[in-house]
Amino acid sequence: SQQGEEDPQALSIQEGENATMNCSYKTSINNLQWYRQNSGRGLVHLILIRSNEREKHTGRLRVTLDTSKKSSSLLITASRAADTASYFCATVPSGTYKYIFGTGTRLKVLA
Amino acid sequence: DAGITQSPRHKVTETGTPVTLRCHQTENHRYMYWYRQDPGHGLRLIHYSYGVKDTDKGEVSDGYSVSRSKTEDFLLTLESATSSQTSVYFCAITPSGGAGTGELFFGEGSRLTVL
């Protein structure tokens, strides 16, 4: 299977704290993306980082990519209760149009 | 709103019956994908399409077939449903210039229960 792994599988933090989740993948990639899924809904794209980039920011999100280790991390700063959701990384293996998703991290932010 | 509609949204069926799920888009995007989501497995790619009548297999294609006779519709068929195909099915699309390089837009999912 090409599927990536994410850790932790679940994370519970207090509002205002930072949340970090990690993604590991198996193949060389074009880019890596992070998605968010609220309970019972479809996934929503958060951020994309290309294989030649090492770090990217948008709003309270910071993503890093280490292609030598085939890993990425997503940092959510100053978390809010509304950030409670599942977060997935997705990679696009080089030379393909396939988006391969990780197993996800369930984040719960306590008010 | 990415203009993706999945139908039916919920379906309960019996083992051995055929089932077809429909994904309809209003965006005229070339690339369409079917995923299944199960606890502990995240999303797994079943099939994808890169144009009318052009489809390819994903990671978990056994027991599934697809068809795309029009740009706007991508059908997923379970020829003879099994209990292991109980899942939530998601359709996703990406713009023609964005396949592999852009973001996916997802439908709201179709929950299928096979008894």
A59-108 pLDDT, tens digit per residue, is 999 999 999 999 999 999 999 999 999 999 999 888 888 999 989 999 99
Distances from the Cα of A45 to the Cαs of A16, A42, A69, in angstroms?
23, 10, 24
Query: Which residues of chain B make contact with A102, given a CB cutoff of 8 A?
Result: 42
Q: Are A101 and B35 a contacting pair at CB < 8 A?
A: yes
Mean pLDDT score of chain A: 93
Question: What is the nearest CA distance from B35 to chain A, expressed in angstroms?
Answer: 10
Q: How far apart are CA B56 and CA A103, in angstroms?
A: 23
A 19-58: CB under 8 A from B: 30-31, 33, 35, 40-45, 48
Residue A83 near residue A59, CB atoms below 8 Å: no
Query: How many Å is the maximal CA-CA distance in chain B?
Result: 41
Are the Cβ atoms of B45 and A41 closer than 8 angstroms? Answer: no
Residues of chain B in contact with residue A6, where contact means CB-CB under 8 angstroms, are 42
Q: Which residues of A5-38 are buried (b: 16+ CB within 10 A; e: fewer)?
A: bbeeeebebeeeeebebbbbbeeebbbbbbbbbe
Tens of pLDDT, residue by residue over B54-88, are 999 999 999 999 999 999 999 999 999 999 999 99
